[in-house]
Amino acid sequence: MQTRREVILAGSSLALASSLGLFPSPVVHASDKSGNKKVIGTEGYQYEVTHDFPELPDKYTWQTTHNVAVDSQHNLYVIHEGRPEQKDHPSIFVFDKDGKFIRAFGQQFQGGGHGIEVRQEGNEEFLYVCAYQQVKSFAKLTTQGETVWQKFAPMESGVYAEGEASDPQKVWGRDRFLPTNFAFLDDGGFLLSDGYGSYFIHQYDADGNWKAKFGGPGDGKGTFNTPHGIWIDRRDPANTKNVVCDRAHNTLQVFDTDWNYQKTIAGFGLPANLDTWKDLMLVPELKARLSIVDKDYNVVAQLGEDVERLNSVKQLRMQPKQWHEGKFVHPHDACFTPEGDIFVAEWVGTGRITKLKRLA
Protein backbone atom coordinates (compact mmCIF):
# COMPACT_ATOMS: atom_id res chain seq x y z
CA MET A 1 0.00 0.00 0.00
CA GLN A 2 1.00 3.60 -0.42
CA THR A 3 0.10 5.83 2.55
CA ARG A 4 -2.60 5.96 5.17
CA ARG A 5 -3.26 9.57 4.21
CA GLU A 6 -4.71 8.42 0.90
CA VAL A 7 -7.41 6.48 2.73
CA ILE A 8 -9.08 9.62 4.07
CA LEU A 9 -9.60 11.00 0.56
CA ALA A 10 -12.95 10.92 -1.25
CA GLY A 11 -16.00 12.63 0.13
CA SER A 12 -19.73 12.47 0.25
CA SER A 13 -19.98 11.47 -3.41
CA LEU A 14 -19.21 7.89 -2.32
CA ALA A 15 -22.70 7.47 -0.91
CA LEU A 16 -24.53 9.67 -3.41
CA ALA A 17 -25.85 6.91 -5.65
CA SER A 18 -27.16 4.98 -2.67
CA SER A 19 -28.77 8.00 -1.04
CA LEU A 20 -30.55 8.91 -4.26
CA GLY A 21 -31.90 5.38 -4.58
CA LEU A 22 -30.16 4.66 -7.86
CA PHE A 23 -29.74 1.01 -6.90
CA PRO A 24 -31.42 -1.17 -4.25
CA SER A 25 -30.45 -0.90 -0.60
CA PRO A 26 -28.15 -3.71 0.51
CA VAL A 27 -29.56 -6.73 2.27
CA VAL A 28 -27.60 -7.93 5.32
CA HIS A 29 -28.78 -10.93 7.34
CA ALA A 30 -27.06 -11.62 10.65
CA SER A 31 -25.97 -15.16 11.44
CA ASP A 32 -28.63 -17.04 13.39
CA LYS A 33 -28.24 -19.51 16.26
CA SER A 34 -27.96 -22.44 13.86
CA GLY A 35 -24.68 -21.00 12.59
CA ASN A 36 -25.96 -19.83 9.23
CA LYS A 37 -23.54 -17.37 7.66
CA LYS A 38 -24.18 -13.72 6.97
CA VAL A 39 -25.61 -12.85 3.57
CA ILE A 40 -24.87 -9.49 1.97
CA GLY A 41 -25.84 -7.80 -1.27
CA THR A 42 -28.91 -6.74 -3.20
CA GLU A 43 -31.56 -8.72 -5.04
CA GLY A 44 -29.85 -10.69 -7.78
CA TYR A 45 -26.41 -10.08 -6.25
CA GLN A 46 -26.41 -11.82 -2.90
CA TYR A 47 -23.40 -13.55 -1.36
CA GLU A 48 -22.72 -15.68 1.70
CA VAL A 49 -19.75 -14.31 3.66
CA THR A 50 -16.83 -16.29 5.08
CA HIS A 51 -14.15 -14.05 6.56
CA ASP A 52 -10.66 -15.53 7.09
CA PHE A 53 -11.47 -18.28 4.60
CA PRO A 54 -8.02 -19.86 3.98
CA GLU A 55 -6.39 -21.92 6.74
CA LEU A 56 -2.82 -20.67 7.11
CA PRO A 57 -0.41 -23.06 8.90
CA ASP A 58 0.78 -21.93 12.33
CA LYS A 59 4.35 -21.54 11.10
CA TYR A 60 3.28 -18.68 8.80
CA THR A 61 1.57 -15.36 9.48
CA TRP A 62 -0.33 -12.93 7.28
CA GLN A 63 1.62 -9.69 6.86
CA THR A 64 -0.70 -7.20 5.13
CA THR A 65 -2.53 -9.19 2.45
CA HIS A 66 -2.58 -7.52 -0.96
CA ASN A 67 -3.85 -9.55 -3.92
CA VAL A 68 -5.63 -12.78 -4.86
CA ALA A 69 -5.96 -14.97 -7.97
CA VAL A 70 -7.62 -18.28 -8.87
CA ASP A 71 -6.42 -20.94 -11.33
CA SER A 72 -8.37 -23.41 -13.47
CA GLN A 73 -8.20 -26.04 -10.73
CA HIS A 74 -9.96 -23.64 -8.32
CA ASN A 75 -6.80 -23.12 -6.29
CA LEU A 76 -6.50 -19.75 -4.57
CA TYR A 77 -3.24 -17.76 -4.65
CA VAL A 78 -2.66 -15.04 -2.06
CA ILE A 79 0.24 -12.59 -1.95
CA HIS A 80 1.08 -10.49 1.07
CA GLU A 81 3.58 -7.68 1.43
CA GLY A 82 5.60 -9.42 4.10
CA ARG A 83 8.17 -8.09 6.52
CA PRO A 84 11.57 -7.48 4.93
CA GLU A 85 13.42 -8.64 8.03
CA GLN A 86 11.77 -12.09 7.69
CA LYS A 87 13.64 -12.95 4.50
CA ASP A 88 12.88 -16.69 4.64
CA HIS A 89 9.13 -16.24 5.08
CA PRO A 90 7.07 -16.91 1.91
CA SER A 91 5.09 -14.10 0.32
CA ILE A 92 2.78 -16.32 -1.80
CA PHE A 93 0.40 -18.94 -0.40
CA VAL A 94 -1.72 -21.49 -2.26
CA PHE A 95 -4.98 -23.04 -1.02
CA ASP A 96 -7.46 -25.51 -2.47
CA LYS A 97 -11.12 -24.71 -3.13
CA ASP A 98 -11.98 -25.52 0.49
CA GLY A 99 -9.35 -23.17 1.88
CA LYS A 100 -6.88 -25.91 2.84
CA PHE A 101 -3.21 -24.95 2.60
CA ILE A 102 -1.24 -26.55 -0.28
CA ARG A 103 2.13 -24.80 -0.51
CA ALA A 104 3.98 -21.50 -0.11
CA PHE A 105 6.87 -19.81 -1.92
CA GLY A 106 8.03 -16.40 -3.13
CA GLN A 107 10.60 -15.46 -0.51
CA GLN A 108 12.23 -13.20 -3.11
CA PHE A 109 9.24 -10.84 -2.91
CA GLN A 110 9.09 -10.65 0.88
CA GLY A 111 8.80 -7.07 2.08
CA GLY A 112 7.29 -5.87 -1.21
CA GLY A 113 4.76 -8.48 -2.39
CA HIS A 114 1.89 -6.81 -4.21
CA GLY A 115 0.26 -8.00 -7.46
CA ILE A 116 -0.48 -11.55 -8.59
CA GLU A 117 -2.39 -12.93 -11.59
CA VAL A 118 -2.83 -16.38 -13.15
CA ARG A 119 -2.47 -16.69 -16.92
CA GLN A 120 -3.22 -19.63 -19.20
CA GLU A 121 -0.50 -20.09 -21.84
CA GLY A 122 -1.11 -23.10 -24.06
CA ASN A 123 -1.64 -26.10 -21.80
CA GLU A 124 0.05 -24.49 -18.80
CA GLU A 125 -0.80 -21.82 -16.28
CA PHE A 126 1.70 -19.31 -14.94
CA LEU A 127 1.79 -16.71 -12.21
CA TYR A 128 2.69 -13.10 -12.92
CA VAL A 129 3.90 -11.38 -9.77
CA CYS A 130 5.03 -7.82 -9.07
CA ALA A 131 6.59 -6.31 -5.98
CA TYR A 132 7.23 -2.78 -4.77
CA GLN A 133 9.05 -1.22 -1.75
CA GLN A 134 12.70 -2.38 -1.79
CA VAL A 135 12.06 -5.31 -4.20
CA LYS A 136 10.97 -3.27 -7.26
CA SER A 137 10.60 -6.13 -9.72
CA PHE A 138 8.16 -8.34 -11.60
CA ALA A 139 8.37 -12.00 -12.50
CA LYS A 140 6.80 -14.96 -14.24
CA LEU A 141 6.56 -18.13 -12.14
CA THR A 142 5.17 -21.61 -12.53
CA THR A 143 2.25 -22.40 -10.25
CA GLN A 144 4.71 -24.48 -8.20
CA GLY A 145 6.77 -21.36 -7.53
CA GLU A 146 9.67 -21.89 -9.95
CA THR A 147 10.96 -18.67 -11.54
CA VAL A 148 10.74 -18.49 -15.34
CA TRP A 149 12.16 -14.96 -15.42
CA GLN A 150 12.42 -11.95 -13.13
CA LYS A 151 12.94 -8.38 -14.30
CA PHE A 152 13.42 -4.92 -12.85
CA ALA A 153 12.77 -1.30 -13.85
CA PRO A 154 12.61 -0.76 -17.64
CA MET A 155 15.43 1.77 -17.92
CA GLU A 156 14.91 2.01 -21.69
CA SER A 157 11.61 3.80 -20.98
CA GLY A 158 13.59 6.89 -19.98
CA VAL A 159 11.61 7.68 -16.84
CA TYR A 160 13.67 6.13 -14.02
CA ALA A 161 16.54 7.33 -11.87
CA GLU A 162 20.02 5.96 -12.47
CA GLY A 163 20.52 2.63 -10.73
CA GLU A 164 16.81 1.95 -10.26
CA ALA A 165 17.11 -1.44 -11.99
CA SER A 166 20.62 -2.43 -10.92
CA ASP A 167 20.46 -1.32 -7.29
CA PRO A 168 16.81 -1.01 -6.13
CA GLN A 169 16.29 0.75 -2.82
CA LYS A 170 13.21 1.55 -0.73
CA VAL A 171 12.86 5.02 -2.24
CA TRP A 172 9.63 6.45 -3.64
CA GLY A 173 9.02 9.07 -6.32
CA ARG A 174 7.88 9.59 -9.90
CA ASP A 175 11.32 8.48 -11.12
CA ARG A 176 11.08 5.20 -9.20
CA PHE A 177 9.72 1.76 -10.15
CA LEU A 178 6.96 0.51 -7.82
CA PRO A 179 4.74 -1.79 -9.92
CA THR A 180 1.28 -2.77 -8.73
CA ASN A 181 -0.74 -4.92 -11.19
CA PHE A 182 -0.90 -6.65 -14.60
CA ALA A 183 -3.27 -7.00 -17.54
CA PHE A 184 -2.84 -9.55 -20.32
CA LEU A 185 -2.84 -8.81 -24.07
CA ASP A 186 -4.13 -11.11 -26.81
CA ASP A 187 -0.71 -11.36 -28.48
CA GLY A 188 0.89 -12.96 -25.42
CA GLY A 189 2.28 -9.70 -24.10
CA PHE A 190 1.09 -7.85 -21.05
CA LEU A 191 0.63 -4.46 -19.43
CA LEU A 192 2.22 -3.55 -16.11
CA SER A 193 1.00 -0.59 -14.10
CA ASP A 194 3.66 1.35 -12.21
CA GLY A 195 0.98 2.48 -9.81
CA TYR A 196 3.15 3.75 -6.96
CA GLY A 197 6.15 4.90 -8.97
CA SER A 198 6.19 6.71 -12.32
CA TYR A 199 2.41 6.43 -12.87
CA PHE A 200 3.06 5.03 -16.36
CA ILE A 201 1.52 1.88 -17.82
CA HIS A 202 4.24 -0.22 -19.44
CA GLN A 203 3.70 -2.63 -22.33
CA TYR A 204 5.82 -5.79 -22.64
CA ASP A 205 6.01 -8.61 -25.16
CA ALA A 206 5.48 -12.28 -24.27
CA ASP A 207 9.10 -12.65 -23.13
CA GLY A 208 8.96 -9.67 -20.80
CA ASN A 209 10.78 -7.26 -23.11
CA TRP A 210 9.72 -3.62 -22.77
CA LYS A 211 7.89 -2.16 -25.79
CA ALA A 212 6.16 1.12 -24.87
CA LYS A 213 4.68 3.28 -22.12
CA PHE A 214 1.40 5.17 -21.72
CA GLY A 215 0.01 7.73 -19.33
CA GLY A 216 2.17 9.25 -16.63
CA PRO A 217 1.33 11.64 -13.80
CA GLY A 218 -1.44 14.20 -14.26
CA ASP A 219 -5.03 15.22 -13.64
CA GLY A 220 -6.85 12.62 -15.74
CA LYS A 221 -7.97 11.98 -19.33
CA GLY A 222 -4.92 9.89 -20.10
CA THR A 223 -2.76 10.79 -17.13
CA PHE A 224 -3.05 9.43 -13.61
CA ASN A 225 -2.61 9.79 -9.88
CA THR A 226 -1.85 6.28 -8.62
CA PRO A 227 -2.90 4.01 -11.53
CA HIS A 228 -3.09 1.08 -9.15
CA GLY A 229 -5.08 -1.47 -11.17
CA ILE A 230 -5.53 -2.26 -14.85
CA TRP A 231 -7.74 -4.60 -16.87
CA ILE A 232 -8.50 -5.51 -20.49
CA ASP A 233 -12.30 -5.41 -20.60
CA ARG A 234 -13.45 -8.01 -23.15
CA ARG A 235 -17.08 -8.22 -22.05
CA ASP A 236 -18.08 -6.69 -25.40
CA PRO A 237 -15.87 -8.58 -27.89
CA ALA A 238 -16.51 -5.99 -30.60
CA ASN A 239 -15.39 -3.15 -28.34
CA THR A 240 -12.47 -4.26 -26.16
CA LYS A 241 -11.27 -1.57 -23.77
CA ASN A 242 -8.34 -0.86 -21.50
CA VAL A 243 -9.54 0.22 -18.05
CA VAL A 244 -7.31 1.82 -15.42
CA CYS A 245 -8.09 2.31 -11.73
CA ASP A 246 -6.96 5.91 -11.25
CA ARG A 247 -7.09 5.39 -7.53
CA ALA A 248 -6.28 8.74 -5.94
CA HIS A 249 -8.70 10.42 -8.37
CA ASN A 250 -11.42 7.94 -7.27
CA THR A 251 -12.17 7.08 -10.90
CA LEU A 252 -11.89 4.49 -13.63
CA GLN A 253 -10.42 5.72 -16.91
CA VAL A 254 -11.52 3.92 -20.07
CA PHE A 255 -9.47 3.72 -23.29
CA ASP A 256 -9.61 1.82 -26.55
CA THR A 257 -6.89 -0.75 -27.13
CA ASP A 258 -4.70 1.89 -28.83
CA TRP A 259 -4.86 4.01 -25.66
CA ASN A 260 -7.18 6.64 -27.10
CA TYR A 261 -9.04 8.14 -24.14
CA GLN A 262 -12.79 7.45 -24.10
CA LYS A 263 -14.28 8.41 -20.74
CA THR A 264 -13.89 8.66 -16.98
CA ILE A 265 -16.19 6.86 -14.55
CA ALA A 266 -16.42 8.70 -11.23
CA GLY A 267 -17.97 7.92 -7.84
CA PHE A 268 -15.63 5.24 -6.47
CA GLY A 269 -13.72 5.29 -3.20
CA LEU A 270 -10.08 4.65 -4.09
CA PRO A 271 -10.67 1.87 -6.68
CA ALA A 272 -7.79 -0.56 -6.43
CA ASN A 273 -8.12 -3.28 -9.09
CA LEU A 274 -10.54 -4.99 -11.49
CA ASP A 275 -11.81 -8.40 -12.57
CA THR A 276 -14.65 -9.61 -14.79
CA TRP A 277 -17.03 -12.57 -14.89
CA LYS A 278 -19.65 -12.85 -17.63
CA ASP A 279 -21.16 -9.34 -17.95
CA LEU A 280 -20.01 -8.14 -14.53
CA MET A 281 -16.94 -6.19 -13.46
CA LEU A 282 -15.66 -6.24 -9.90
CA VAL A 283 -14.20 -3.04 -8.40
CA PRO A 284 -12.64 -3.43 -4.93
CA GLU A 285 -12.50 -0.01 -3.32
CA LEU A 286 -9.94 0.69 -0.64
CA LYS A 287 -12.51 2.84 1.10
CA ALA A 288 -14.48 0.00 2.68
CA ARG A 289 -16.60 -1.53 -0.04
CA LEU A 290 -16.78 -3.73 -3.13
CA SER A 291 -18.69 -2.52 -6.19
CA ILE A 292 -20.07 -4.55 -9.09
CA VAL A 293 -20.68 -2.75 -12.39
CA ASP A 294 -22.35 -3.76 -15.65
CA LYS A 295 -20.97 -3.50 -19.19
CA ASP A 296 -21.77 0.23 -19.26
CA TYR A 297 -19.93 0.72 -15.93
CA ASN A 298 -23.15 1.38 -14.04
CA VAL A 299 -23.08 0.20 -10.42
CA VAL A 300 -25.51 -2.70 -9.92
CA ALA A 301 -24.46 -3.70 -6.39
CA GLN A 302 -22.22 -2.61 -3.55
CA LEU A 303 -21.08 -5.13 -0.97
CA GLY A 304 -19.87 -4.81 2.60
CA GLU A 305 -19.85 -1.01 2.70
CA ASP A 306 -18.59 0.45 5.96
CA VAL A 307 -17.35 3.88 4.88
CA GLU A 308 -18.84 5.77 7.82
CA ARG A 309 -17.10 3.59 10.41
CA LEU A 310 -13.85 3.73 8.47
CA ASN A 311 -13.95 7.51 8.66
CA SER A 312 -14.86 7.57 12.35
CA VAL A 313 -12.69 4.81 13.88
CA LYS A 314 -9.02 5.76 13.95
CA GLN A 315 -6.67 3.13 12.50
CA LEU A 316 -9.50 0.64 11.96
CA ARG A 317 -7.18 -1.48 9.79
CA MET A 318 -5.10 -2.32 12.86
CA GLN A 319 -8.03 -3.22 15.15
CA PRO A 320 -9.56 -6.61 14.22
CA LYS A 321 -11.84 -6.57 17.26
CA GLN A 322 -13.54 -3.51 15.78
CA TRP A 323 -14.32 -5.20 12.45
CA HIS A 324 -17.95 -6.14 11.78
CA GLU A 325 -19.08 -9.35 10.11
CA GLY A 326 -20.15 -8.77 6.53
CA LYS A 327 -18.37 -5.41 6.40
CA PHE A 328 -15.08 -4.56 4.73
CA VAL A 329 -12.27 -2.32 5.95
CA HIS A 330 -9.87 -1.89 3.01
CA PRO A 331 -10.55 -4.13 -0.04
CA HIS A 332 -7.26 -3.98 -1.95
CA ASP A 333 -7.98 -6.67 -4.53
CA ALA A 334 -10.77 -9.08 -5.44
CA CYS A 335 -11.29 -11.75 -8.06
CA PHE A 336 -14.07 -13.94 -9.37
CA THR A 337 -13.98 -17.73 -9.44
CA PRO A 338 -15.29 -19.58 -12.53
CA GLU A 339 -18.63 -20.01 -10.69
CA GLY A 340 -18.97 -16.32 -9.90
CA ASP A 341 -17.92 -16.52 -6.26
CA ILE A 342 -15.59 -13.75 -5.09
CA PHE A 343 -12.37 -13.66 -3.07
CA VAL A 344 -11.39 -10.38 -1.40
CA ALA A 345 -7.95 -9.43 -0.06
CA GLU A 346 -7.84 -6.53 2.39
CA TRP A 347 -5.03 -4.13 3.21
CA VAL A 348 -5.15 -4.67 6.96
CA GLY A 349 -2.32 -5.23 9.42
CA THR A 350 -3.22 -8.82 10.29
CA GLY A 351 -4.24 -9.69 6.75
CA ARG A 352 -7.71 -10.92 5.80
CA ILE A 353 -9.06 -13.00 2.92
CA THR A 354 -12.85 -13.24 2.57
CA LYS A 355 -14.88 -15.59 0.39
CA LEU A 356 -18.22 -14.41 -0.96
CA LYS A 357 -20.25 -17.39 -2.19
CA ARG A 358 -22.73 -16.38 -4.88
CA LEU A 359 -26.34 -17.18 -3.98
CA ALA A 360 -28.24 -15.36 -6.72
Tell me the pLDDT of the chain (360 aa) as tens digits: 443 333 333 333 333 344 333 444 454 444 443 467 899 999 999 999 999 999 999 999 999 999 999 999 999 999 999 999 999 999 999 999 999 999 999 999 999 999 999 999 999 999 999 999 999 999 999 999 999 999 999 999 999 999 999 999 999 999 999 999 999 999 999 999 999 999 999 999 999 999 999 999 999 999 999 999 999 999 999 999 999 999 999 999 999 999 999 999 999 999 999 999 999 999 999 999 999 999 999 999 999 999 999 999 999 999 999 999 999 999 999 999 999 999 999 999 999 999 999 996
Q: Please give the full DSSP string across 293-333, using - where no structure is assigned.
A: E-TT--EEEEES--HHHHHHSTTGGG-GGG--TT--S-EEE
pTM for the complete prediction? 0.90
Cβ neighbours of residue 328 closer than 8 Å, sequence gap 6 or more:
288, 289, 290, 303, 304, 305, 306, 344, 346, 354
The C-alpha atoms of residue 300 and residue 269 are separated, in whole angstroms, by 16
Domains and CATH numbers, the chain: 4-358 (2.120.10.30)
